Amino acid sequence: MSREDYSKPDYYSRRAKREGYPARSVYKLKELDERYRILRVGNKVLDLGASPGSWMKYCSEIIGENGLVVGIDRNELKHSVLRNEVFIKGDIYELKPEQIEREYGKFDVVLSDLAPDTMGNKTTDAVRSIALAERAYEFARVLLKIGGKFLVKVFQGDGFEDFMKSLRGGFNSVKSTKPKSSRASSAEMFIFCSGFSIAKGGKS
């Protein structure tokens, strides 16, 4: 079987272009938001791996003018920053969550769509994905409000179950799922965590 051509537009890619989103990934977040009610009006949201900007744009629409979404990525956005958005160009391994906390305080929701530059080796790609997810969790542990929510993308493979176990140490509920809009050949999974708790290992 030939490798799927990710550059070929599919239904979700065409829909994203038609509806004004920079990438098809918006429909993964939309599906998960509708299922788990992740975002609320007035929320403060941190978006890790924000480029090209589809998740930020969706969040800004849901949280409204009294909310705030702060996006971080080493690459630029492909849409103009909206009134309730802030974009920080930077590397998550160089930025410290404490810097973000000093500037913006605690967050209701932390999202991570971080993904490694894939090598074509599923084991290596999974390990690198887990490392990014663990870094995102470091941000979440510092920056989430008590009771907050964390959504993180990760590739299935070595370390997945151990990472799930570590998340259960900080949240009341941890669930994994693969959205319908994910490509069939993709190893990506999304883990949704709710009920962030100091008693379960949080740092807020």
Active site residues per annotation: 153
91 with 72: CB under 8 angstroms? no
DSSP H or E run through 194: strand 188-196
DSSP H or E run through 141: helix 122-143
Handedness of CA 135, 141, 145, 147 (dihedral sign): positive
- Residue 151: left (phi > 0), alpha (psi -120 to 50), or beta? beta
The order of strands in the sheet holding 68-73 is 85-89, 68-73, 44-48, 107-112, 144-155, 188-196, 171-177
Measured in whole angstroms, the distance separating CA 138 from the mean position of its chain's CA atoms is 13
